[in-house]
């Protein structure tokens, strides 16, 4: 993959909230990208100057989550409830606003925001691909900060110079350049040959070379596939 640059976004020397990286690490979260927001820009909480997008930090996220109260109380949607509690508290502590990619319509435009960071791109199969997490990228929430936080520069997409194994990894051809055939995907998962996707994660996502270097456990992928295929 030619031109790939690695490195995790963090808070620069001009940041108003330098302890954020340590706060996130305590919950096995990290900043997956961010961007500056213009004054009074529409679509953001009033006063937002910077948006930081948060996601799991591996290795360790899934093991950490297993000990959390939301995972132990047998109630529905433990990952989303944990995200609301943890990221919501971080936002309160920082005087920021927490935003989430779940919770019902109207949904926040996380895909649009991710592309704006310069660290996430549309892959050849139109799924989002992250510079460090590949096609296994997931967002647990975002922080709308009132401070102008230094944001690292954009990176080069890992898809540049890649052989694009993702394009040929889906047995029912549900994920292609043309889009996503959702019924074909669910039909395949209902068949015995679809069990590998259900228990180990989507074969397309796993085919990405960047995904293969990311330490996400199959158990986490299986959980999300189970939620998707309910």
pLDDT at 2: 34
Q: What CA–CA distance (Å, rounded) separates 94 from 42?
A: 22
CB-CB neighbours of 24 under 10 Å: 21
Q: What CA–CA distance (Å, rounded) separates 21 from 44?
A: 22
pLDDT at 4: 37
Mean pLDDT of 48-60: 96
Q: 206 by DSSP, 3-state: which?
A: helix
pLDDT at 10: 41
Q: What CA–CA distance (Å, rounded) separates 222 from 126?
A: 21
50 bridge partner residues: 36, 145
pLDDT at 151: 84
pLDDT at 11: 41
pLDDT at 201: 95
Mean pLDDT of 87-105: 95
pLDDT at 152: 74
pLDDT at 3: 36
DSSP code for 106: S
Mean pLDDT of 141-153: 91
Mean pLDDT of 80-99: 97
The pLDDT confidence band at residue 26, using thresholds 50, 70 and 90, is very high
pLDDT at 92: 96
* The Cα angle at residue 184 between residues 213 and 79, in degrees rounded to 5: 50
Q: What CA–CA distance (Å, rounded) separates 44 from 108?
A: 10
pLDDT at 229: 95
In this structure, what are the phi and psi dihedrals at residue 194, rounded to the nearest 5 degrees?
-90, 0
Q: For 109, what's the count of Cα atoms within 13 Å in the CB-facing half-sphere?
A: 8
pLDDT at 40: 87
Q: Do residues 21 and 46 make contact, with C-beta atoms less than 8 angstroms apart?
A: no
Q: Do residues 65 and 28 make contact, with C-beta atoms less than 8 angstroms apart?
A: yes
Token output for 34: 């961010």
| Spans of all domains in the chain | 20-228
pLDDT, one tens digit per residue, over 184-212 is 999 999 999 999 999 999 999 999 999 99
């Amino acid at each position: 993959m030619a031109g790939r640059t690695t490195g995790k976004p963090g808070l620069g020397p001009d940041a108003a909230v330098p302890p954020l990286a340590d706060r996130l690490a305590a919950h096995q979260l990290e900043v997956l990208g961010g961007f500056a927001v213009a004054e009074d820009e529409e679509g953001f909480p009033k006063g937002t100057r910077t948006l930081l997008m948060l996601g799991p930090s591996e290795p360790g996220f899934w093991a950490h989550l297993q000990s959390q109260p939301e995972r132990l109380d047998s109630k529905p949607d433990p990952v989303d409830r944990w995200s609301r509690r943890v990221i919501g508290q971080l936002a309160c502590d920082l005087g920021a606003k927490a935003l989430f990619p779940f919770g019902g319509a109207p949904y926040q435009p996380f895909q649009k925001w991710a592309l704006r960071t310069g660290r996430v791109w549309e892959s050849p199969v139109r799924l989002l691909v992250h510079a460090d997490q590949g096609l296994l990228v997931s967002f647990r929430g975002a922080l709308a900060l009132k401070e102008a936080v230094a944001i690292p520069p954009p990176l080069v997409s890992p898809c540049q110079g890649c052989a694009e194994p993702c394009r040929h990894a889906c047995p029912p051809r549900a994920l292609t350049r043309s889009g996503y055939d959702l019924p074909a995907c669910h039909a395949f998962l209902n068949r015995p040959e679809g069990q590998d996707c259900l228990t180990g994660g989507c074969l397309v996502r796993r085919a990405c070379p960047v995904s293969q270097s990311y330490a996400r456990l199959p158990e986490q992928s299986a959980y999300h596939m189970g939620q998707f295929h309910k």
